[in-house]
Structure 1
């Protein structure tokens, strides 16, 4: 079973199976145990899936998170697929789900997820990450802590640094004559 990284840096086993979009004419095959199914299929059959704590959804990068806004309280987990590391639309989707639509469940990054993206994903509201299989998951906790302070407001802190600067000690260089 693969592992995932949580936003606090802990590494745990991933119990969720990502179910791919079935080919045209094929039906959805659910595995045993928790499953992440394509969002459009969940919406199409929501009367069968609503309230099931072992069924979550995944959004592809081109899908708008608004399609889920009326059903967020019924989804234990939403995963956002990053088809390639250069596709940043998933960051916007995460912020919309957290800030505009108020989603409070687990938000997971899947797909082409790299170590150097984790800190930025965390700031956008993700709280778990399924790294690309060729990446060393043991380096992930350190990658989530690269920066101690960020200048901008985000989902992890809604105040910019200039408003928080009184919270941090300021190092003053001593003059040497």
Structure 2
């Protein structure tokens, strides 16, 4: 599947070993939550595929070890992973990469990014190719979130002070 990061198509360095398949000790490995114990002693970057049905607070003890958390959208209208991403960033202070996987539409990309998601594992090549344009569509926002973009109110206030 095509991977988008920083608005551009990139190669995915993460290996997703099949059930029972061994993986190199220094490889960047992305494992499902129920297999994370297999990574004890793993020396390379470690990622976890986290289902949207589990609370992210359960990840707290693993966060210092994780380089990637992949949140899953089983269907595009299921918004639980939006909340998971915000909780990871704001409540748990996670600074690593958060990836959206599953049934994601290009119309959702800007909203996912505003929730703290860094990369997007998209199903459709066309959505991946349109990603750079999607991120250019909106320049101002009304809602305040933890991003570098000021809200419309903050921009107006700054202009009045100038």
TM-score range, shorter chain: 0.7 to 0.9
CA distance in 2, matches of 1:121, 1:19: 26
The 5 A counterparts of 1:72-87 are 72-87=63-78
Match of 2:46 among 40, 52, 55: 55
Partners of 2:79 and 2:17 lie apart in 1 by 22
Counterpart CA distance in 1 for 2:34 and 2:159 is 46
- The answer as to 2:28 corresponding to 1:29 is no
The answer as to whether partners of 1:19 and 1:38 remain within 8 angstroms in 2 is: no
Structure 2 SS opposite 1:71: helix
Count of residue pairs brought into register by the alignment: 158
- Root-mean-square deviation over aligned CA pairs: 2.4
Give yes or no for contact 2:33–2:49 (8 Å, CA) kept in 1. yes
2:99·2:121 contact (CA, 8 Å) conserved in 1?
yes
- Ranked by relative contact order (alpha carbons within 8 Å, sequence separation 6 or more), the top structure is 2
Q: Which has the higher helix share?
A: 2
Deviations 1:104-139 (A, max 9, x none): 001100111211110000000001111113534211
Unmatched runs of 5 consecutive residues or more in structure 2? none
Give unmatched runs, 5+ long, in structure 1.
23-27, 170-177
1:78 match: secondary structure: strand
TM-score computed with the length of structure 1 as normaliser: 0.78
Q: What SS class does the counterpart of residue 157 from structure 2 fall into?
A: helix
SS in 2 for 1:17: coil
Q: After the TM superposition, which segments of 4 or more aligned residues of structure 1 sit over 6 Å from their partners?
A: none
